[in-house]
Structures are given as C-alpha cells and as structure tokens.
C-alpha cells in the first residue's frame, strides 16, 4: 500500500520565481491538505482540497494556490517567491467525506524542501 | 482560537530512561488530539491519537499518551527510551471544521547512550 508521495524532494528557486509542488495521496484517500514548516517550527496549515475544490484555507496570501485532480492528486503553487517562503512543504491525505466535521487521521508525505535564494 | 503549547523545546534523556513530553491545549469543545514524530529531514509519522473513550491511548513504538480534561493536557510517555527515538515530537489538536491540525512548536528529543 503506497503512502503519500511528494515531488520533488528538494527545490531551489530565486526570489520572484514561481514553483509547483506535487502530491499523490495514500490509496483510498480523497482529501489533500498542505502545510508549511519553517525551520525550527511546527507545520502551519495552508489549505485543504476535496472534490477538486479548496474547502478550507489557513492564513496564507493569495500567492499560494492549489489544485486537485480527478485522481485526487494535488499541486501547490507559489507565485512571486519570497525568501520567507523557504520551508519544508508537507502534504497530508485523509478521507474527506461530505460532513463538515471529520476526524479522520491525516497521513503525511516526506515533504518537499524549498529553498529561495 | 484553538492553540497548543509544548513547553519543552529540548529534552535530553539517557537511553533506557523514562520519558514524558508535555502538551497543553486550548480548545472549547471536545478535542481530538494527535502526536506525530518527525525524524530529521523527514515527514511526520503518526504515533497515536485520541478521539474519545479511554483517556489512556496506546500508540506505536511503545508510546502512550493520557488525556486529562481537567488539566487540558495530552502528555506523551514512554517507559524506556531507545536511541532511535531521538527526533522531534509534535502535539496537534484537531481544529473544528475540515480536519485542520494545529501544531505546537515541537519538542526535540535527544537520547544519550
């Protein structure tokens, strides 16, 4: 049973550039959440996708956008990169469902390390 | 707003010693609580979770955690630490809505041989 996979593993960009990170959820999962983990800090929730729509968003600017595909995989896009965007970006998958309150466990991928120079 | 506090940034224990990592949360409703572990440069692995029922929860790798509503705590324990337990540990309450986790700052565990 494949777990959550993310690509690429590492990425180096310069300020002002755009980046796309990819995530494939655990088999059977339909919901993908993205988190940003700055060095020495805990992960911060960016947004969550279910049924190809963003259904919850954390306190991140519009430069951060995403997409979910019919096969439940997801992309995180960041435009106009800033030095402060350097972080480990984690993808987590879970079973979403249509209810507004879910407690299904989130399983995390290994992350993508983004460095902005 | 929901929040979580892990008071200990760094903890060092000797191999074979017992371990307790503290977690305090601020949450108005019945919380759902998770502990995750992160090895250097890696993603997060679920250790255990509390949704309801028995307040003492068993997890993987010999870890357990006890939910104490009166103290708003969910401390992680292990009776005998192994060198491979050296990692960063995150307590994460579940925030109401669409399954959003709120992470503490983490506790970095070092294990001396």
Phi and psi (nearest 5°) for A63?
A: -60, -20
Assess B96–A contact: CB distance below 8 Å, yes or no: yes
Average pLDDT over residues A61-66: 97
Q: Average pLDDT for residues A104-114, to the nearest whole number?
A: 91
Residue spans of alpha helices (H) in B25-105: none
The DSSP annotation for A58-110 comes to -S--TTEEEEE-TTS-EEEEE-S--GGG-EEEEEEEE---SSS---PPPEE--
**Are residues B43 and A31, on separate chains, in Cβ contact within 8 Å?**
no
Least confident piece of the model among A26-30, A87-91, B84-88: A26-30
Contact assessment for residue A112 and residue A13, using Cβ atoms and an 8 Å cutoff = no
> What is the rounded CA–CA span in Å between residue A77 and residue A57?
14
* Per-residue DSSP letter, A41: S
Minimal-distance CA residue of chain A relative to B39: A110
Write the burial class of residue B113 (CB in 10 Å: 0-12 exposed, 13-18 middle, 19+ buried): exposed
CB spacing of B99 vs A55 below 8 angstroms: no
B39 conformational bin, left if phi > 0, alpha if psi -120 to 50, beta if neither: beta
Asked if A105 reaches chain B (Cβ–Cβ under 8 Å), the answer is: yes
- Name chain B contacts of A4, Cβ cutoff 8 Å: 43
Question: Closest residue of A to B45, CA-based?
Answer: A108
Q: Would you call B60 an interface residue with chain A, using a CB distance cutoff of 8 Å?
A: no
When CB atoms are compared, the residue of B42, B98, B105 closest to A100 is B98
Distance from the A17 Cα atom to the nearest Cα atom in chain B, whole angstroms: 24
pLDDT value at B48 more than 90 = yes
Average pLDDT of B81-89? 96
- Across the range A88-116, mean pLDDT stands at 83
Q: Which of B58, B60, B32 is nearest to B46 (CA)?
A: B60
SS3 A59: coil
Six-digit token pair at A13? 């960009």
Confidence at residue A13, expressed as pLDDT on a 0 to 100 scale: 97
pLDDT band at residue A97 under the 50/70/90 scheme: low
């Amino acid at each position: 049973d494949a777990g959550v996979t993310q690509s690429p593993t590492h990425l180096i960009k310069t300020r002002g550039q755009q980046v796309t990170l990819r995530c494939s959820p655990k088999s059977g999962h339909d919901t993908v959440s993205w988190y940003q983990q700055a060095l020495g800090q805990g992960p911060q929730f960016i947004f969550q996708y279910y049924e190809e729509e963003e259904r919850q968003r954390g306190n991140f600017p519009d430069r951060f956008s995403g997409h979910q595909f019919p096969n439940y995989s997801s992309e995180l896009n960041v435009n106009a990169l800033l030095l402060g965007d350097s972080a480990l970006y984690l993808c987590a998958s879970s079973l979403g469902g249509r209810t507004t309150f879910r407690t299904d466990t989130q399983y995390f991928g290994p992350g993508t390390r983004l460095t902005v120079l | 707003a929901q929040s979580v506090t892990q008071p200990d940034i760094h903890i060092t224990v000797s191999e074979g010693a017992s371990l307790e990592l503290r977690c305090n949360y601020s949450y108005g409703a019945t919380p759902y609580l998770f502990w995750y572990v992160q090895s250097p440069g890696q993603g997060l692995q679920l250790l255990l979770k509390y949704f309801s029922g028995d307040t003492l929860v068993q997890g993987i790798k010999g870890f357990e955690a006890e939910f104490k509503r009166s103290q708003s705590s969910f401390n992680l324990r292990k009776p005998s630490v192994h060198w491979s337990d050296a990692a960063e540990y995150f307590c994460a309450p579940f925030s109401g809505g669409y399954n959003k986790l709120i992470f503490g700052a983490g506790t970095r565990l070092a294990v001396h041989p």
